[in-house]
Chains A and B, each alone.
Chain A
Amino acid sequence: NAGVTQTPKFQVLKTGQSMTLQCAQDMNHEYMSWYRQDPGMGLRLIHYSVGAGITDQGEVPNGYNVSRSTTEDFPLRLLSAAPSQTSVYFCASSYYSNQPQHFGDGTRLSIL
């Protein structure tokens, strides 16, 4: 049972580039979410999904896009990378509402 799998683990981008952070879970959880973790700020919710085909914005959605075509996958897209998006990104899933139970090990993203 793999849980929540995030790829890549590390990525360096140049300002203006786009990329997709992948997230997959094998627990058949309906609820999935993306967080970013910055020093001194805890984890902040970017986007979340309550099921396939249903997504909505969290606290800090600007510059990010998501889609949920299957229960298993919830990719996060950076449309035009900016240095302010340098962070560690975590994907989470849960069975009960938006109360994250399982986190992936993160993607460490640096934008130059």
Chain B
Amino acid sequence: GENVEQHPSTLSVQEGDSAVIKCTYSDSASNYFPWYKQELGKGPQLIIDIRSNVGEKKDQRIAVTLNKTAKHFSLHITETQPEDSAVYFCAASGYLRGGYQKVTFGIGTKLQVIP
């Protein structure tokens, strides 16, 4: 099955600086890579995703890059703000029996933006 590793587990940055979170995956057949933000006491929120036919995707201050050859993908947050403080999860899609896809999650990165 798919295995997703996520680094770092915690990350502290000064407000206005950039933050980068990196993930690697094991299944070369994976073709969908979402990122989720989880605030305290809430469920994960899908913030951006990328599919294997795209190398980079941007949405305002957030960008995700994908290197399929190396099997790694990264989340980049620019001009960080205190409200970016949360736990971020990467995930990669894989296939269950019957052909249905599922995502495998990384263990999360706790991002703290220091005002």
Contact = CB atoms under 8 A, between A and B. Distances in A.
A98 B30 CA distance: 13
A106 B44 CA distance: 9
Nearest to B89: A42
Interface in A26-47: 33, 40-45
Interface of A: 4, 33, 40-45, 48, 50, 56, 58-59, 90, 92, 97-106
Interface of B: 1, 4, 6, 32, 34, 36, 41-46, 49, 89, 93, 96-98, 100-108
B107 A41 contact: yes
B45 to A, nearest CB: 7
B45 A56 contact: no
Contacts of B44: 43, 90, 100, 103
A90 B105 CA distance: 13
Contact of A98 (B36, B41, B89, B101): B101
Contact of B100 (A41, A43, A98): A98
Contact of A99 (B34, B42, B43): B34
Nearest to A108: B41
A2 B31 CA distance: 30
A90 B102 contact: no
Contact of A105 (B1, B32, B42): B42
A102 B36 CA distance: 10
